[in-house]
């Protein structure tokens, strides 16, 4: 049995689990409850499976045609997959861009994820690799990838965490992040997710510079990310 707090009315709902075939709703206000990103993506894929397969077939045919054209041109060239269309490709750092979907990337804990966390990024070309780490052990709890101008809602286990994030335009994978120009930042406060009475505390974090904002960040070296 899981506990999910409604972001609309704040009611605590006990649910048996999540399903790609049936969305769960709040028992008080009947608004949809937050769901794990994998469930949302699975439901999306199930609904649009025909178009996904069609796009995959067309994309594969274009790649094969490109490779055959390159082989027959008489030049010695290597094929590099194009960077995702959202990115502006910078000077080649010596390793290829990596395609990535927005959402949860890794979960490093088996603890129940019941506390709501919402993160919003500023509009722009840059993307964000967000890392939620234990405030005391510095062990990672969950990692997220977000494009600029997006909001992502997830659940995390109860605990006290720090929020770190890397930013840049072109994604080269978790080993290289956004290449040599990656910028690393960390929120200067900790975030405690706990049960208060019959409610579970959560946070909405906006990584957007605001006048009189109550969240400050600081630049950190890559070794501390």
**pLDDT tens per residue across span 58-91:** 777 676 666 565 444 443 344 445 555 454 556 6
Helix (H) or strand (E) segment spanning residue 115 = strand 115-120
CATH of domain 97-224: 2.60.40
Q: Name the one residue in this structure whose structure tokens are 């809602």.
A: 153
Q: What is the pLDDT of residues 120-150, one digit of tens each?
A: 999 999 999 999 999 999 999 999 999 999 9
pTM assigned to the model: 0.59
Distance separating alpha carbons of residues 180 and 177, to the nearest angstrom: 8
Domain map (residue ranges) of the chain: 97-224
Q: What is the CA radius of gyration of the chain?
A: 21
* Nearest alpha carbon to residue 225 among 167, 150, 154, 148: 167
């Amino acid at each position: 049995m899981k506990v999910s707090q409604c972001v609309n009315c704040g009611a605590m709902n006990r649910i048996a689990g999540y399903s790609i075939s049936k969305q769960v709703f709040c028992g008080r206000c009947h608004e949809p409850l937050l769901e794990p990103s994998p469930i949302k993506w699975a439901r999306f894929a199930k609904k649009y499976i025909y178009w996904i397969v069609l796009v995959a077939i067309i994309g594969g045919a274009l790649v094969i045609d490109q490779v055959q054209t390159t082989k027959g041109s008489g030049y010695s060239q290597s094929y590099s997959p194009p960077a995702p269309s959202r990115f502006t490709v910078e000077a080649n750092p010596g390793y290829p861009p990596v395609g990535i979907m927005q959402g949860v990337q890794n979960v490093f804990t088996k603890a129940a994820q019941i506390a709501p966390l919402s993160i919003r990024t500023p509009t722009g070309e840059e993307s964000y690799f967000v890392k939620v780490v234990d405030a005391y052990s510095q062990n990672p709890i969950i990692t997220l990838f977000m494009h600029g101008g997006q909001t992502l809602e997830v659940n995390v286990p109860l605990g006290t965490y720090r929020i770190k994030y890397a930013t840049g335009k072109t994604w080269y994978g978790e080993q290289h992040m956004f290449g040599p120009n990656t910028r690393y930042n960390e929120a200067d406060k900790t975030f405690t997710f706990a049960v208060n009475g019959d409610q579970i505390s959560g946070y909405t974090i906006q990584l957007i510079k605001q006048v009189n904002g109550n969240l400050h960040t600081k630049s950190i070296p890559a070794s501390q990310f």
